[in-house]
Structure 1
Amino acid sequence: MARDNPLAYASSKLALSRWLRRTAVLDQWAGARILLNGVAPGTVRTPMTASLLSNEEGRAILAQATPCAMPDYADPQDIAPLLAFLASADNRYMVGQIPFVDGGSDVLLRGDDV
Structure 2
Amino acid sequence: KGTGTFELVVHGKAAHAGLEPWNGVNSLVAAAELITQVATFGDPATATTVTPTVATAGTADNVVPAEARVKVDVRVEQAGEKERIEGLFAGLTTSVPGARVEVLGGMNRPPMPASA
Common fold by TM > 0.5: no
Higher strand share: 2
Q: Quick one: higher RCO (CA 8 Å, sep 6+), 1 or 2? A: 2
Higher helix share: 1
TM-score (norm 2): 0.29
